[in-house]
């Protein structure tokens, strides 16, 4: 499938306005598996309206540009598309309810060559409508497995964060609810590959996969839990690489290395012994 480089690179995203409530904030946290133990008072601060706080990863589900890439004129093989990397910088704590404005833009497309796919980079900045303040900046890297060799500019792929070559300082485990994909999608990502077994099979998976950003949120919460004693406001930026699909019902083991205010991390799906999150880096203020 031939990707139209100029049309994709210059796609004119309109600003997106989205209002959300405390209910949405709680539903997002539940979609990440928080309060599997409903008596866990530390996690109730993210799932119960009394003293509610928003998780710092919540911006990833707000002001999404939708499935624009499915339009035939772009030539994107969206069925084979995967989420490759995710980065997020927190500028201000997220309100638990409000109205935000998101501005998306394609920043670059790297052609890895015929049969090797391409990388599509999309930035999104989120603003609080009431104050005009910038709340967060995100970069989504999408792997276009079916679109290599379209003739785009050749660039070196940015090097990922290097994981320390020593034993981890911390290790955490988190179970993914078998219904996780069906719950998480209610926060706005309705890609059918996370719910429809037939579409998942068409894309080459034995069953629906869990959302990459769902895995992202789960793993970042483990960093918050084990390095900042649940103080979510102490996490200021984070980025990671998705190295393999994750399935609902699996258990994630996250290894964490601490070096000053930087936490490096890697997550493995225990049942398959497969690294699913790699080259993770979080900057802490705690």
As a whole number of angstroms, the distance between CA 274 and CA 86 comes to: 19
pTM: 0.91
pLDDT in tens, 155-175: 778 889 999 999 999 999 999
pLDDT in tens, 67-121: 899 999 999 998 888 889 999 999 999 999 999 999 999 999 999 888 888 999 9
Secondary structure, 3-state, 75-96: CCCHHHEEEEEEEEEECCCCCC
Secondary structure, 3-state, the chain: CCCCHHHHHCCCCCCEEEEECHHHHHHHHHHCCCCCCCCCHHHHCCCCCCCCCCCCCHHHHCCCCCCHHHCHHHCCCHHHEEEEEEEEEECCCCCCCEEEEEEEEEEEEEECCCCCCEEEEEEEEEEECCCCCEEEEEEEEEEECCCCCCCCCCCCCCCCCCCCCCCCCEEEEEECCCCHHHHHHHHCCCCHHHCCHHHHHHCCCCCCCCCHHHHHHHHHHHHHHHHCCCCHHHEEEEEEEECCCCCCCCEEEEEEEEECCEEEEEEEECCCCEEEEEEEEEEECC
As a whole number of angstroms, the distance between CA 187 and CA 190 comes to: 8
pLDDT in tens, 178-234: 999 999 999 998 888 899 999 899 888 999 999 999 999 999 999 999 999 999 999
CATH of the domain at 243: 3.10.129.10
pLDDT of residue 270: 98
Domain containing residue 127: 5-284
β-strands 134-144, 274-284 pairing: unpaired
Active site residues: 189, 194
Domain count, the chain: 1
pLDDT in tens, 261-280: 999 999 999 999 999 999 99
Residue 1 pLDDT > 70: no
């Amino acid at each position: 499938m031939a990707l139209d480089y100029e049309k994709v690179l210059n796609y004119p995203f309109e600003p997106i306005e989205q209002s959300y409530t405390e209910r949405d904030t709680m539903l997002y946290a539940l979609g990440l598996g928080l309060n599997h133990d409903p008596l866990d008072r530390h996690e109730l601060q993210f799932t119960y309206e009394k003293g509610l706080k928003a998780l710092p990863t919540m911006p990833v589900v707000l002001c999404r540009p939708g499935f624009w890439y499915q339009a035939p004129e772009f030539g994107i093989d969206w069925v084979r598309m995967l989420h490759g990397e995710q980065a997020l910088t927190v500028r201000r704590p997220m309100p638990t309810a409000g109205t935000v404005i998101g501005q998306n833009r394609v920043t670059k497309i790297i052609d890895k060559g015929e049969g090797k796919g391409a990388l599509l980079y999309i930035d999104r900045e989120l603003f609080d409508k009431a104050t005009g303040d910038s709340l967060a900046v995100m970069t989504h890297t999408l792997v276009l497995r079916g679109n290599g060799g379209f003739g785009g500019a050749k660039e070196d792929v940015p090097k990922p964060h290097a994981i320390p070559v020593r034993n981890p300082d911390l290790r955490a485990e988190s179970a993914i609810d078998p219904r996780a994909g069906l719950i998480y999608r209610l926060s706005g990502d309705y890609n059918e590959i996370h719910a429809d077994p037939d579409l998942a099979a068409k894309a080459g998976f034995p069953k629906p996969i869990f959302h990459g950003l769902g895995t992202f949120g789960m793993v970042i919460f483990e960093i918050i839990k084990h390095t900042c004693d649940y103080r979510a406001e102490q996490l200021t930026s984070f980025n990671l690489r998705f190295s393999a699909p994750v399935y609902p019902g699996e258990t994630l083991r996250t290894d964490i290395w601490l070096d000053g205010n930087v936490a490096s991390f890697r997550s493995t799906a225990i049942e398959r012994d497969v690294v699913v999150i790699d080259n993770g880096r979080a900057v802490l203020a705690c």
